[in-house]
Amino acid sequence: MSKKGTSAFILQRASAVILAPLSIWFLFEIVSALTADYATARAWLSVPLNAALLGAFFIIGALHMRIGLAEIIVDYVHSWAKDVLLFINWLAALGLIAAAAWSIYTIFFAG
Amino acid sequence: MADGAASKRPLSPHLQIWRFTVTLAASITHRGTGVVLYGGLLLMALWVIGLALSPELFAAVSAIIHSPLGFILIVGFVWSLLFHLMNGLRHLYWDYGRGFAMKTATMTAWLVYIAATLATALIIWAGYGGGA
Ligand code: HEM
């Protein structure tokens, strides 16, 4: 148990360090994303660098947010609901990774 | 707490005894923005899924983005990401063992609130056509 806590602590910090530059990139992108139409957005995601960085943002973000919310759940919920919430938290992170990876893959190879 | 009396483990600080400090506010806001970003990332996934599946679905998601509600969501998400990012750097600096002096911590907390708000205004202004 204590070993698990340590690796979660390290992964939370490692993911934060990677997320920092990714977020700055992302904040620049979101400016153009606000006005983009379907064709523009798909063309944008067909650029390898954009697809890779967006994929990385989702996957590392999912790992980081799962650990973070698990910590919050453990802080506030002490009943049986804790395990249910922790399980949903896992599903949400896995679903996010799967959905984002599939979408980016599909768009990237459709051209 | 199920068995507070029996437990020998230390209790966290008492919830009713505290006074306002900007460092405390920043700590609570870090947690709050973390939860907002969690929801935001899930919404963002909808955006890419729509982009992958069909122009119609993408148009539906785009319509929400361009509505007043969408504007509020985007401002909230951008501010949350900026705050959480900058305050996260404070956390990482602490993990490195620095920046704990009360004066430093108070100053950086104010700085994060101000810088996040200014940068949000700039990004939203540029994003909605003020810039290009
Ligand atoms: C994709 C966006 C992000 C999401 C969804 C997210 C979510 C979260 C959540 C839910 C927590 C737990 C908060 C708590 O326990 O009070 C957290 C903690 C943390 N986040 Fe993020 N975060 C994101 C981006 C970032 C970025 C870009 C950084 C960069 C520095 C960062 C740094 C941290 C740090 C250092 C902690 C630990 C704070 C502590 O020790 O209490 N996060 N995050």
Cross-chain CB nearest to A78 (options B1, B74, B128): B1
> Residues of B with CB below 8 A from A102's CB?
52
Answer yes or no: is B3 within a domain.
Answer: no
Q: Is A19 in the pocket of ligand 1 (CB under 6 A)?
A: yes
Answer yes or no: is B12 within a domain.
Answer: no
Q: What is the extent of the structural domain holding B117?
A: 21-127
- Looking at per-residue pLDDT, the higher value among B109 and B64 belongs to B109
Structure pTM? Answer: 0.80
CATH code at position A42: 1.20.1300.10
| Domains identified in chain A, total number | 1
pLDDT tens for residues A5-34? 778 899 999 999 999 999 988 888 776 666
Q: Is B84 in the pocket of ligand 1 (CB under 6 A)?
A: yes
Nearest residue by C-alpha to atom 20 in ligand 1:
B88
Mean pLDDT of B17-22: 78
pLDDT tens for residues B101-124? 888 899 999 999 999 999 999 988
Mean pLDDT of B41-65: 89
**B residues 66..85 contacting A (CB < 8 A):** 74, 78, 81-82, 85
Query: Is A55 near chain B, with CB under 8 Å?
Result: no
ipTM: 0.87
Beta strands in B24-67 (DSSP E): none
Q: What is the extent of the structural domain holding A59?
A: 4-110
Mutation for A interface: B41, B47, B86, B92, most A CBs within 10 A: B41
